[in-house]
Structure 1
Amino acid sequence: PINMYMQVRDGSTPVINAISFLLIAGTSVFAVASLWGKRKS
């Protein structure tokens, strides 16, 4: 994470942007899925 932060600060590359987006999207999907699962049961 620290290495990614340094690269973003120096001028983000498309690869870092893609990885960050996937991490954020994956976390969001997991959070929504867990909330939805709790609500169903």
Structure 2
Amino acid sequence: MLSSITKKGEIVRNMASLNMFMILVINDKIINRTNMIV
């Protein structure tokens, strides 16, 4: 029981870090695109 809870916690943490990474990548692409336009 306890191991499954910790495993879920790890998955949630991994998902959160992945979302942060995706947001950073998307922001980087948007910034690059606006720099190209300007």
Identical counterparts, % of pairs: 10
TM-score by length of 1: 0.67
Structure 1 outlier segments of 4+, above 2 Å:
none
What is the CA RMSD across the aligned residues, in angstroms?
1.7
Structure 1 gap ranges (5+)? 1-10
TM-score by length of 2: 0.71
Number of aligned residue pairs: give it: 31
- Write out aligned runs for 1:1-41 (5 A): 13-41=10-38
Instruction: Pick the structure with greater CA Rg.
Output: 2
CA distance in 2, matches of 1:14, 1:29: 22
Q: Which has the higher contact order (CA 8 A, sep 6+)?
A: 1
